[in-house]
């Protein structure tokens, strides 16, 4: 894990965050694939799993220490803050879609 750079982990987290939004629209159409909601829930589980992987990558990126002018620093950059907002928004949006879909809206 020492060979993986902090920026690469942030990039993987951002890709997962974007994937959450792409999958949230995809699993809506998966509801019509069969006679029941099996594929819908498979899409929901995959979407949440992708979001959790993004959070794991983000946590690893935050915990990585970088050297700046001889000092060891860890923390969240602007890129990380943006990624975390996208991840939280993706979770909320997916949950909203599930609630709206189950209520019949």
As given in the structure block, the two tokens for residue 53 are 């992987």
pLDDT tens for 59-90 read 888 887 665 555 555 566 777 888 888 899 98
pLDDT tens for 8-53 read 888 899 999 999 988 888 877 777 777 777 888 888 899 999 999 9
Collapsed DSSP state (helix, strand, coil) of residue 67:
strand
For residue 32, give the DSSP letter: G
pTM: 0.78
Residue 40: its pLDDT value, please?
Answer: 81
Site of tokens 């890709």 = 15
Which of 25, 13, 30 is CA-nearest to residue 96?
Answer: 25
């Amino acid at each position: 894990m020492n060979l993986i750079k902090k920026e690469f982990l942030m990039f993987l987290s951002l890709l997962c965050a974007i994937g959450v939004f792409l999958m949230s629209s995809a699993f809506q159409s998966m509801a019509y694939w069969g006679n029941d909601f099996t594929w819908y829930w498979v899409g929901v589980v995959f979407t949440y799993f992708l979001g959790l992987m993004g959070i794991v990558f983000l946590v690893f990126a935050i915990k990585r220490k970088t050297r700046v002018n001889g000092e060891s620093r860890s923390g969240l950059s602007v890129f990380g803050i943006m990624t975390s907002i996208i991840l939280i928004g993706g979770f909320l949006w997916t949950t909203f879609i599930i609630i709206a879909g189950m209520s019949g809206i």
